[in-house]
């Protein structure tokens, strides 16, 4: 049995035996080198109550090369791509050390959710939203946690709501703003797309001229 397999097996066992950390590592298929990690969203953050799953691929030269991780669960966070789940975290790149384990790396992801780093973003739009209005960002992140990560208030309620409301909340926008431009005769999905891209939120609303938005909508 090679060293890599021995170490990964030990890590999986250790993680199973450790009940205090709330970190889980499960096999996806029969290979011990493709795993699924999961952890609860940290308390006192918009991710609280959510359950986040991470795709884990262990490279051939593990633990000397960093483990590959990305979120399976959709997360609204400046350092996580909202589309692909790719993660921007130094220990997954240059700052990786062979002493780090799957568990400690998952714990680092959990704490990344506590402390976003908008200056080194993986998702530029989310990062802009974060720096423009923290309150509005939190709301959107909480909404994503409800919808995608099974956060509080998700049970049955979301499905019964009209889907249009969801789209606006997912994009982190105000319903009144979307309605305003939809009333001008533009398609709702296009309005959402443009407002999201222009970061039409919080204090920015006053700075962006309506003409500019219409111009964008006409493109």
Write out the catalytic residue numbers.
88
Q: Does 57 bind another protein (CB under 8 A)?
A: no
25 near 107, Cβ under 8 Å? Answer: no
- Point out which span in 31-39, 40-48, 162-170, 192-200 binds another protein (CB under 8 A): 192-200
Cα angle value 74/78/104 (rounded, 5°): 75
Residue in 72, 100, 158, 208 binding another protein, rule: CB under 8 A: 100
Count CB neighbours of 60 within 10 A: 8
Hey, is 9 helix, strand or coil?
helix
Does the CA dihedral 24-27-31-34 come out positive or negative? negative
Mutual orientation of helices 175-182 and 210-218 as an angle, nearest 10°?
60
Q: Does 66 bind another protein (CB under 8 A)?
A: no
Q: Binding-site residue total for another protein (CB under 8 A)?
A: 38
- Point out which span in 27-35, 38-46, 76-84, 162-170 binds another protein (CB under 8 A): 76-84
Residues 139-168 that bind another protein (CB under 8 A): none
Q: Does 207 bind another protein (CB under 8 A)?
A: no
Q: Which of 162, 196, 160 is nearest to 178 (CA)?
A: 196
Residue in 73, 122, 140, 146 binding another protein, rule: CB under 8 A: 122
**14 backbone dihedrals φ, ψ, rounded to 5°:** -55, -40
Q: How far is the CB of 111 from another protein (least distance, A)?
A: 14
Residue in 32, 150, 193, 205 binding another protein, rule: CB under 8 A: 193
Residue in 197, 207, 212, 214 binding another protein, rule: CB under 8 A: 197
- Point out which span in 34-42, 77-85, 155-163, 201-209 binds another protein (CB under 8 A): 77-85
Alpha-helical segments (H) within 87-162: 102-114, 124-132, 134-148, 157-160
Residue in 21, 97, 111, 189 binding another protein, rule: CB under 8 A: 97
91 near 100, Cβ under 8 Å? Answer: yes
Return the structure tokens found at 158: 């979301």
Contacts with another protein by CB under 8 A lie at 3, 6-7, 10-11, 14, 61, 63-64, 81-84, 86, 88, 91, 94-101, 119-126, 193-194, 196-197, 216, 219
């Amino acid at each position: 049995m090679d060293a890599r397999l021995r170490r990964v097996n030990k890590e999986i066992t250790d993680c199973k035996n450790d009940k205090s950390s709330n970190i889980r590592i499960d096999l996806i298929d029969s290979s011990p080198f493709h795993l699924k990690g999961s952890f609860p969203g940290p308390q006192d953050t918009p991710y609280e109550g959510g359950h986040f799953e991470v795709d884990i691929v262990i490279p051939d030269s593990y633990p000397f090369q960093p483990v590959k991780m990305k979120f399976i669960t959709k997360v609204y966070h400046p350092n996580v791509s909202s589309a692909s789940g790719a993660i921007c975290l130094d220990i997954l790149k240059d700052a990786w050390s062979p002493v780090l384990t799957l568990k400690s790396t998952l714990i680092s992801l959990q704490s990344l959710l506590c402390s976003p780093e908008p200056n080194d973003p993986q998702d530029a739009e989310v990062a802009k939203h974060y720096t423009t209005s923290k309150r509005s960002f939190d709301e959107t992140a909480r909404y994503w946690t409800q919808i995608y990560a099974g956060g509080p208030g998700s049970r049955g309620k979301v499905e019964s709501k009209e889907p249009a409301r969801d789209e606006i909340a997912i994009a982190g926008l105000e319903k009144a703003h979307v309605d305003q431009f939809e009333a001008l005769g533009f398609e709702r999905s296009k309005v959402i797309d443009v407002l999201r891209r222009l970061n039409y939120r919080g204090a920015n609303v006053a700075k962006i001229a309506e003409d500019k938005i219409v111009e964008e909508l006409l493109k």
